[in-house]
Amino acid sequence: MSVADDKKTVLEIANKIKEARISKNLRQIDVAKKAGLDANSYAKIERGIQKPKVITLTKILKALEIKSSEILSV
């Protein structure tokens, strides 16, 4: 996978996380708190600026009450 492909995948996952949050009428701070994350870190993940570690992504998925297949099917 090239660097460009990697960035594209990160952005696709970030957009799906954002869509899931919006569909549940949650604010970024709400998801961050539920996931036990710093609000700024969560915002960077959602914008595709920061790649989440697997454990962090798992916490976000639990906070959003969604399955990994909904986010990772890019």
Q: What is the C-alpha separation between 49 and 26, in angstroms, rounded? A: 20
Question: Does position 15 have pLDDT exceeding 80, yes or no?
Answer: yes
Q: What pLDDT digit, counting tens, does each position of 22-65 carry? A: 999 999 999 999 999 999 999 999 999 999 999 999 999 999 99
7 falls within a domain = yes
CATH of the domain at 55: 1.10.260.40
Q: Residue 12: give the domain boundaries.
A: 3-65
Q: What is the C-alpha separation between 1 and 45, in angstroms, rounded? A: 20
74 falls within a domain = no
50 falls within a domain = yes
Q: What is the C-alpha separation between 3 and 64, in angstroms, rounded? A: 28
34 falls within a domain = yes
Domain total of the chain = 1
71 falls within a domain = no
Q: What predicted TM-score, i.e. pTM, was given to this entire model?
A: 0.90
Token pair, residue 18, equals 């954002």
45 falls within a domain = yes
Angular region, 56: left φ>0, alpha ψ -120 to 50, beta rest: alpha
